[in-house]
Amino acid sequence: MSAIAAIFQNMPEIMLRAIVVGTLVSLCASLLGVTLVLKRYSMIGDGLSHVGFGALTVDNLFDYRPDHYQYNSPFTVGRTYKVGASVDVDKLVNRIRKKNSK
């Protein structure tokens, strides 16, 4: 136990923060992941990641930077496209589920 304590005492503060944040993210992701798998949304997350890659590619290709964004970053544009795509996919899934339940 003292060896572990010695490791953490000699570690830079940024590494300690990284370990704490990584642990918290892994706990949240595991809880969210179980919920998504049980609701059969696991493939939607995979599709949204591809939407994000496509949005970043198009953004970098055309060098699109809107002036009204606070941060002119390709991630801002990618996030906008992913939110729009997730709303569209959710509407589509709900429409299909309603159609199949009749």
With bands split at pLDDT 50, 70 and 90, how would you rate the model's confidence at 23?
Answer: very high
Angle at 51 between CA 94 and CA 74, to 5 degrees: 130
Give CA–CA dist 47/82, Å, rounded: 10
pLDDT (tens digit, 9 = 90+) per residue, 33-61?
A: 888 788 777 777 778 888 888 887 877 77
